[in-house]
């Protein structure tokens, strides 16, 4: 799977670790930055990563920041992106099963690296259930 990944300065360390983890799992990670812990404005990096999913250039997107809130909001402004802010295995699993989330947002200041990697794995490995959830996804996308 080709996965876009981006962060601001507050998510940089986890971005680098997750990027390596994705590659170890056989995925292609496309890094949209940032490239250090120097303060930056997250939309500069998050929006292009989300746009790559909307354009079909990447299959999914992972965005990171201090809390992950602003990054999720930025990604969700891109039509066709459904980015879920996740904090544990259950939130990641339900984001995929019920919401067909093609975006994942994580807060480096809110979860341990071990938990972040587990969240990534659950999010990658959980299929969308379909069924009754399809009409809800269509309703979400219709707002766009």
Residue recorded with tokens 């969240």: 119
Active site residue 133: no
Active site residue 71: yes
**Of 9, 21, 27, 71, catalytic:** 71
95-to-13, 98, 133, 140 alpha-carbon distances in Å: 24, 6, 11, 14
Task: Tell me the backbone φ, ψ of residue 97, rounded to 5 degrees.
Answer: -60, -45
130: left (phi over 0), alpha (psi -120 to 50) or beta: left
**Of 98, 129, 133, 144, catalytic:** 98
The Cα 124–Cα 84 span in angstroms is 13
The Cα 71–Cα 118 span in angstroms is 20
Enumerate the active-site residues.
71, 98
């Amino acid at each position: 799977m080709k996965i876009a990944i981006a962060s601001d300065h507050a998510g940089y360390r986890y971005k680098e670790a997750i990027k390596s983890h994705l590659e170890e799992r056989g995925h292609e990670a496309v890094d949209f930055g940032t490239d250090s812990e120097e303060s930056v404005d997250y939309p500069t990096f998050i929006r292009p990563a989300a746009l790559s999913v909307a354009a079909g250039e990447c299959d999914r997107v992972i965005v990171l920041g201090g809390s992950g809130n602003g990054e999720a909001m930025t990604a969700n402004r891109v039509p066709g992106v459904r980015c879920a802010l996740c904090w544990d295995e259950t939130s990641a699993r339900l984001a995929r099963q019920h919401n067909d989330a093609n975006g994942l947002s994580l807060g480096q200041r809110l979860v341990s690296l071990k938990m972040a990697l587990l969240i990534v794995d659950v999010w990658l490995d959980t299929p969308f259930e379909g069924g009754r959830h399809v009409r809800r996804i269509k309703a979400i996308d219709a707002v766009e």
